[in-house]
Amino acid sequence: MWILLIIQTKRFIIRFGGRHLLSSEISAIKNSKISRKTIYYTIIMILLGEFLTWKSYFFQSVAGYPHRVPASQIINPPTAAFLSLNSSGEFLQLILMLLMPMFLILITIQRSIERSQDNSTFVLYTRMGNLNKSLINGQLVQFTIFTLLYIALFAGDFLINIVLFHRGTSFKGVEDATINSHLLSLELSHPYLTYLIFIFVVSVAFGIYAVVTYVLALSLRKTFLVYLVSLGLWIMMFALPYSSSYFMQPFIEYDWKEYGLSMLSYLVICGAVILVGNWIVRLQSHHIYAK
């Protein structure tokens, strides 16, 4: 399923002439110290979180079990992994989740802000009749880059957890809440498949928010405002009655209703911002060209 989506997205980008834009954006990331450092720091924080979890479960358990720690006392790999937010490295995971828009901006969006401040870009797009095409290409490229980036990060983190906690069977008491949640019961019955699905869903959600941030960059065109609005909107969606965390975090006690409404509210808000942002960019372009 993942491979099929990647292939279809690539074909769509090529169809709209965005292949060169995708290649140039990837090249810009490789050549940017800020982009590379941001990705490196993200990886380091993920690895540090896993080390703290491993240290907590093994170093502290050796005294009680000098020969071998029982599997029942070792956390299950999917439960220990990043998205579950259920380990000793939870504070690092929370930082990465809550400040995610800042990482998006530092990796690629900052360049979009700088380009959007040059009015000649809008004039050129309007004269060539390429504004709609350019907007579609830019948004598809941001979605593709960040969806694939987070799939790679979350999948790599999951593999590390499988190696570190391969004997683990403990869900840290989460199974006690299955009486109130059919979804949780289903997740605990198939923890590995569940986590793989969440990797895909959350990575796509992050890719969508990369589009939101990109559109904000083009429409607001000021670094401070882009940081403020993108981060404020992101935190707001986590603070809603149906928090975005409900569909981004596996193995929690909420059921299908909460999961569905959480995802729906996320998609509606992101979709609205993208539509309004595109409309504002078009207005700005026509206004600048009219001058």
Confidence band of 89 (pLDDT split at 50, 70, 90): low
Tokens of 144: 């593709």
**Mean predicted lDDT score pLDDT of the chain:** 81
**1-5, 18-22, 34-38, 81-85: least confident range:** 1-5
In whole angstroms, what is the distance from residue 33 CA to residue 11 CA? 30
Higher pLDDT, 285 or 118: 285
Q: Return d(Cα 206, Cα 102) in angstroms, integer.
A: 12
Give yes or no for residue 139 having a pLDDT over 70: yes
Can you tell me the mean pLDDT for 162-187? Answer: 78
Per-residue model confidence (pLDDT) at position 174: 74
Torsion-angle region of 74 (φ positive above 0: left; ψ -120 to 50: alpha; else: beta): beta
Mean pLDDT across 267-291? 81
Rounded distance between C-alpha atoms, residue 234 and residue 239, angstroms: 9
Determine the average pLDDT of the residues in 26-52: 88
The span from the CA of 102 to the CA of 84, in Å, is: 21
In the prediction, which pLDDT does 124 show? Answer: 47
Query: Could you tell me if 202 and 83 are in contact, meaning their C-beta atoms sit under 8 angstroms apart?
Result: yes
Task: Determine the pLDDT at residue 185.
Answer: 86
Which is more confidently placed, 193 or 124?
193
pTM of the predicted protein model:
0.86
CA distance 249 to 93: 11
Q: What pLDDT band is residue 128 in, cutting at 50, 70 and 90? A: very low
For residues 18 and 137, is the Cβ–Cβ distance under 8 A? Answer: yes
The two three-digit tokens of residue 31, written as one number: 């050549």
> How far apart are alpha carbons 128 and 17 in whole angstroms?
14
| pLDDT tens digit sequence for 232-261 | 999 999 999 999 989 999 988 888 899 999
Q: What is the pLDDT of residue 123?
A: 46
Domain ranges of the chain: 24-57+65-290
- Flag whether pLDDT at 268 surpasses 90: yes
pLDDT at 288 over 80: no
Residue 54 CB contacts under 8 Å (≥ 6 apart), including other chains? 164, 165
Question: What per-residue confidence (pLDDT) applies to 18?
Answer: 56
Average pLDDT over residues 150-158: 94
Q: What is the pLDDT of residue 251?
A: 87
Helices (H), 32-88: 33-58, 77-80
Tokens encoding 57: 């479960």
Asked whether the beta carbons of 256 and 199 are under 8 A apart, the reply is no
Q: CA 238, CA 270: separation in Å to the nearest integer?
A: 13
pLDDT-based confidence at residue 196 (cuts at 50, 70, 90): very high
Q: 27-38 pLDDT, tens per residue?
A: 888 888 898 999
